[in-house]
């Protein structure tokens, strides 16, 4: 075991393979960018194939290769299941998959793992049944959990080398120019897929809306695409927007949101041209609404909003309250539509969004970000990947990227959820180190990271109750009692990479 700088013990072999977390910027050094093998496409050659099977055959996909997918269709994705079913039917085994994330809809993956079709996974997250199956140890090799910026980094640095990317595209022409703003299953930004398209040796575009050449503007360019396949349907629009945009009426969530908005608008960063990211979920959407009210009252306009875009952000743009929307992913249909229609609503890839190894990601320019948490501990470490039972069920997302890089990160969470404390002595799993968290916001008040002496001073008189992080934990324990320790097994089922590629934690089987 090797102890890392987040206070976590990393088993020796994994520590040697990946390195261990040694601080936010310890591993950020000059490097040679990875590159791909390109098979030029000559005049007269066609890229349009009959079906997914022909695409798999033409790419020469064989046992042991790495394939990738994007998660822009979220719970509405048909692509990963279709492709893996075909791969399984063809008898191909020992495949590594590197989707940008995995959703509940990908439950068939469990069988592919059990049958030896899929033997390695890297992903931002693992939901419900797939997460539970992984936690119960159906795979020999641990899943590697990477943040969105960390995945872009891993691809650029060559830690992930994608042999074939199978990328669902709401619209494409027969030469591979693809975007997410037109078609039957519009998902808006293709920000995560754009990275795969740039670095994969081979790229297969799978679309249900084939349009005349040239499909321009394109998020993915013909110069990155080898083959195009038209299928009946690539995704379910209802699933793409699932659960993202509910406006909360929950009083606790509203209190959290109000407190977060107070912190942001009382901060030194709140001024003409400021920037923020709020994400999805009831409280987050409400934060945007509360900030908006204050901006209107103060006559202040944002320079840009970033994300993970929802309708709430689109409204800011429409009402002239932000100059730009910078968009790596859309969570609802209005956002996807806005991206296609508004020049000030701009698509970026995951590298530009959040990679710590890029020549400067947008998160580096971000003033403040609002991030959720499953658990927060007294060192401000945040867990967004495992439940209170220790089972994999969340996603790393942009959490560690944004919280590290922005000027003031807010982690919002209720004190308790049901009978479970959110604030604990020690999180089950560290995804974001406490060093990256500036202010924790709950329904009863806030805790400022003592390292941010500037914020402690600045917020002396803010109209929100202030606690130490230990006091928040004590209050949670007073209500629901001290949680029982989890009875983990002895097998590592997931490696949690920090955004720089080093290991910040591991997850054992339950």
Residue 318 found at the interface with a second copy (CB under 8 A) = no
CA distance 502 to 153: 12
Residue 343 found at the interface with a second copy (CB under 8 A) = yes
Residue 320 found at the interface with a second copy (CB under 8 A) = no
Give the interface segment with a second copy, choosing from 28-36, 61-69, 480-488, 490-498 (CB under 8 A): 28-36
Residue 269: both structure tokens together: 């960063």
| Residues 188-207 as b or e (16 or more Cβ within 10 Å = b) | bbbbbbbbbbbbbbbbbbbb
CA distance 80 to 391: 23
Residue 11 found at the interface with a second copy (CB under 8 A) = no
Residue 6 found at the interface with a second copy (CB under 8 A) = no
CA distance 18 to 15: 5
Minimal distance in Å, beta carbon 175 to a second copy? 6
Residue 39 found at the interface with a second copy (CB under 8 A) = yes
Give the interface segment with a second copy, choosing from 68-76, 138-146, 186-194, 213-221 (CB under 8 A): 213-221
CA distance 211 to 182: 9
Residue 404 found at the interface with a second copy (CB under 8 A) = yes
Give the interface segment with a second copy, choosing from 235-243, 353-361, 369-377, 385-393 (CB under 8 A): 353-361
Whether 148 and 358 have beta carbons less than 8 Å apart is answered as no
Question: Between 250 and 365, whose beta carbon lies closer to a second copy?
Answer: 365
CA distance 228 to 55: 8
Question: Between 41 and 138, whose beta carbon lies closer to a second copy?
Answer: 41
Return the residue matching tokens 């995995």. Answer: 102
Q: Which of 60, 64, 116, 360 binds a second copy (CB under 8 A)?
A: 360
Give the interface segment with a second copy, choosing from 22-30, 93-101, 244-252, 257-265 (CB under 8 A): 22-30
Q: Which residues have C-beta within 8 Å of that of residue 2, sequence separation ≥ 6?
A: 9, 10, 11, 12, 15, 20
Question: Between 359 and 460, whose beta carbon lies closer to a second copy?
Answer: 359
- Applying the rule CB under 8 A, the residues between 126 and 165 that interact with a second copy are 156
Determine if the peptide bond prior to 232 is cis (ω within 30°).
Answer: no
Burial class (CB in 10 A: 0-12, 13-18, 19+), 38: exposed
Residue 30 found at the interface with a second copy (CB under 8 A) = yes
Residue 454 found at the interface with a second copy (CB under 8 A) = no
- Applying the rule CB under 8 A, the residues between 363 and 402 that interact with a second copy are 363-365
The SS3 of residue 480 is: helix
Query: Could you say which DSSP state residue 434 is in?
Result: G
Residue 271 found at the interface with a second copy (CB under 8 A) = no
Three-state SS annotation for 323-339 = EEEEEEEECCHHHHHHH
Return the residue matching tokens 């901060």. Answer: 267
Give the interface segment with a second copy, choosing from 1-9, 242-250, 284-292, 352-360 (CB under 8 A): 352-360
Burial class (CB in 10 A: 0-12, 13-18, 19+), 303: middle
Q: Which of 13, 43, 299, 485 binds a second copy (CB under 8 A)?
A: 43
Q: Which of 352, 385, 440, 447 binds a second copy (CB under 8 A)?
A: 352
Residue 171 found at the interface with a second copy (CB under 8 A) = no
What angle (nearest 5°) sits at the alpha carbon of residue 100, between those of residues 113 and 188?
130
CA distance 20 to 400: 15
Q: Which of 1, 37, 50, 463 binds a second copy (CB under 8 A)?
A: 37
Give the interface segment with a second copy, choosing from 4-12, 39-47, 258-266, 379-387 (CB under 8 A): 39-47
Question: Between 119 and 364, whose beta carbon lies closer to a second copy?
Answer: 364
Residue 259 found at the interface with a second copy (CB under 8 A) = no
Return the residue matching tokens 């069920």. Answer: 393
CA distance 508 to 491: 5
Q: Which of 91, 249, 251, 359 binds a second copy (CB under 8 A)?
A: 359
Return the residue matching tokens 């202030």. Answer: 466
Minimal distance in Å, beta carbon 324 to a second copy? 5
Minimal distance in Å, beta carbon 75 to a second copy? 29
CA distance 78 to 234: 5
Q: Which of 89, 296, 344, 479 binds a second copy (CB under 8 A)?
A: 344
CA distance 254 to 412: 11
Query: Could you say which DSSP state residue 310 is in?
Result: -
Q: Which of 129, 301, 324, 426 binds a second copy (CB under 8 A)?
A: 324
- Applying the rule CB under 8 A, the residues between 60 and 89 that interact with a second copy are none
- Applying the rule CB under 8 A, the residues between 419 and 448 that interact with a second copy are none
Residue 13 found at the interface with a second copy (CB under 8 A) = no
Q: Which residues contact a second copy (rule: CB under 8 A)?
A: 25, 28-45, 47, 156, 175-176, 203, 212-214, 216-218, 221-226, 273, 303-304, 323-324, 326, 343-344, 346, 348, 351-352, 355-365, 404-406
């Amino acid at each position: 075991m090797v102890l890392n700088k987040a206070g976590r013990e990393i088993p020796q072999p994994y520590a040697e393979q990946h390195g261990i977390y040694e601080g936010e910027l310890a591993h950020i050094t000059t490097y040679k960018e990875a590159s791909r093998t390109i098979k030029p496409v000559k005049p007269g050659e066609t890229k349009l194939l009959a079906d997914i099977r022909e695409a798999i055959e033409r790419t020469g996909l064989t046992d042991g290769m790495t394939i990738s997918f994007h998660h822009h269709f979220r719970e509405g994705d048909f692509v990963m299941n279709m492709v893996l079913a075909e791969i399984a039917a063809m008898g191909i085994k020992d495949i590594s998959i590197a989707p940008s994330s995995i959703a509940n809809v990908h439950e068939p993956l469990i069988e592919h793992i059990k049958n030896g079709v899929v033997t390695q996974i890297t992903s931002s997250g693992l939901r419900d049944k797939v997460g539970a199956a992984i936690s119960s140890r159906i795979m020999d090799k641990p899943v590697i959990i990477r943040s969105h910026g960390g995945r872009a980094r891993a691809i650029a640095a060559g830690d992930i080398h994608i042999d074939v990317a199978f990328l669902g595209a709401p619209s494409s022409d027969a030469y591979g120019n693809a975007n997410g703003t037109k078609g039957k299953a519009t998902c808006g930004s293709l920000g995560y897929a754009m990275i795969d398209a740039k670095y994969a040796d081979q790229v297969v575009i799978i679309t249900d809306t084939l349009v005349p050449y040239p499909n321009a503007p394109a998020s993915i360019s013909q110069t990155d695409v080898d083959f195009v396949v038209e299928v009946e349907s690539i995704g379910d629009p209802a699933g793409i927007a699932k659960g993202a945009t509910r406006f909360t009426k929950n009083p606790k969530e509203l209190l959290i949101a109000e407190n977060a908005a107070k912190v942001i608008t009382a901060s030194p960063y709140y001024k003409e041209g400021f920037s923020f990211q709020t994400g999805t979920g009831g409280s987050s959407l409400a934060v945007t609404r509360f900030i908006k009210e204050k901006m209107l009252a103060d006559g202040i306009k944002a320079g840009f909003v970033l994300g993970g875009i929802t309708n709430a952000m689109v409204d800011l743009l429409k009402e002239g309250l932000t100059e730009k929307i910078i968009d790596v992913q859309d969570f609802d249909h209005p956002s996807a539509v806005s991206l296609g229609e508004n020049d000030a609503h701009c698509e970026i890839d995951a590298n530009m969004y959040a990679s710590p190894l890029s020549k400067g990601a947008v998160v580096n320019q971000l003033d403040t970000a609002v991030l959720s948490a499953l658990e927060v501990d007294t060192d401000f470490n945040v867990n967004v990947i495992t439940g209170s039972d220790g089972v994999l069920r969340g996603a790393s997302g942009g959490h560690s990227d944004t919280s590290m890089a922005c000027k003031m990160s807010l982690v919002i969470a209720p004190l308790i959820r049901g009978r479970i404390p959110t604030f604990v002595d020690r999180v089950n799993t560290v995804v974001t180190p406490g060093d990256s968290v500036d202010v924790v916001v709950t329904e009863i008040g806030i805790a400022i990271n003592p390292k941010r002496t500037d914020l402690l001073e600045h917020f002396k008189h803010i109209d929100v109750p202030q606690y130490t992080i230990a006091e928040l934990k004590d209050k949670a324990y007073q209500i629901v009692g001290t949680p029982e320790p989890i009875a983990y097994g002895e097998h590592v089922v997931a490696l949690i990479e920090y955004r720089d590629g080093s290991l910040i934690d591991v997850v054992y089987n339950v």
